[in-house]
Amino acid sequence: MSTPTKTLDGNVALVTGGSRSIGAAITKKLAADGAAVAFTYASSPQKANELVKSIEGAGGKALAVQADSADPSAVRNAVAQTVKTFGRLDILVNNAGTLVIKPVDDLTVEDFDRIVAVNVRGVFVATQAAVQHMREGGRVINIGSCNSDYVPFGGGAFYAMTKSALVGLTKGLARDLGPRGITVVNVQPGPTNTDMNPDSGEFAKQAKSYTALGRYAQPDEIARFVAWLASPAASYITGAGLRIDGGYAA
């Protein structure tokens, strides 16, 4: 009996910020669907190594590259290492992100520079480097946020600003890359159980009340959506902002 072909067999993916939470779930799902997957991490090499061993133990291929997404040289090196190791690059998931939640009077220029460097500039730098290696059918998948459309809490101005920037960047890149057969989409998760925003505590209680489903997403739910967007089934979707938010912005 022949082994069923996996939807991403033969593909190579790079996931930025791929060692924990949503990023780790995406890395594992892409690998499970047949892709060789590289991922970046900024700290905690132990977690990164454990993820590589888990994927390889399941018969997949994985590569961990230490890279702070605020460092353009490190981001470009991660792309280069991916191509050097696996020979190509078909899928880029711009997942790395940082969060600043402060009242406007407490925000600093340093906060601004850091969050823009990771959440916006890092996405541009990774994309510019990655698409040099992509062929027709390539995928760029940005992980944005439903907070680009709806911010029902105080202190989120900088975070919402950067995720709103990804909306415009995604649309512009889709126009630039469409003639080359490369698609660009912006996935906009709602409240999700992550290290930065755990499914517990007072903030979680409030956030759940904003969703139609009354709960947080689990990282695997976001990962399944991303993997589908990376598959041939999503070949005609580009320039789109796609919410997976449990009705948060309904």
- Which of 99, 117, 118, 103 is CA-nearest to residue 16? 118
pLDDT at 203: 86
Give the span between the Cα atoms of 133 and 57, in whole angstroms: 28
Domain of residue 88, residue span = 12-244
CATH number at residue 114: 3.40.50.720
Per-residue pLDDT of the chain (250 residues; tens, 9 = 90+): 555 679 999 999 999 999 999 999 999 999 999 999 999 999 989 999 999 999 999 999 999 999 999 999 999 999 999 999 999 999 999 999 999 999 999 999 999 999 999 999 999 999 999 999 999 999 999 999 999 999 999 999 999 999 999 999 999 999 999 999 999 999 999 999 998 889 997 789 999 999 999 999 999 999 999 999 999 999 999 999 999 999 998 8
**Per the domain annotation, does 249 fall within a domain?**
no
**Per the domain annotation, does 117 fall within a domain?**
yes
Give the CA count within 13 Å in the CB-facing half-sphere of 27: 34
**Per the domain annotation, does 5 fall within a domain?**
no
Give the CA count within 13 Å in the CB-facing half-sphere of 10: 6
**Per the domain annotation, does 7 fall within a domain?**
no
Number of compact structural domains in the chain: 1
Percent of the chain as helix, strand, coil, to the nearest 5: 45, 15, 40
The pTM of this model reads 0.96
pLDDT at 4: 67
**Per the domain annotation, does 159 fall within a domain?**
yes
**Per the domain annotation, does 6 fall within a domain?**
no
- Which of 136, 111, 141 is CA-nearest to residue 17? 141
**Per the domain annotation, does 155 fall within a domain?**
yes
- Which of 95, 33, 43 is CA-nearest to residue 228? 33
- Residue 92: phi and psi, rounded to 5, are -120, 125
Instruction: Evaluate whether 95 touches 18 at the Cβ level (below 8 Å).
Output: yes
pLDDT at 9: 98
**In 10 A of CB 117, how many CB atoms?**
18
Helix (H, G, I), strand (E, B) or coil at 209: helix
Rounded to 5°, angle at Cα 86 from 120 and 48: 60
Number of H helices, E strands in the chain: 8, 7
Give catalytic residues, as residue numbers. Answer: 159
pLDDT at 2: 52
DSSP string for 40-101: EESS-HHHHHHHHHHHHHTT--EEEEE--TT-HHHHHHHHHHHHHHHS---EEEE-------
Q: How distant is the alpha carbon of residue 115 from its chain centre? A: 15
Q: How distant is the alpha carbon of residue 9 from its chain centre? A: 20
pLDDT at 3: 57
pLDDT at 196: 82
**Per the domain annotation, does 1 fall within a domain?**
no
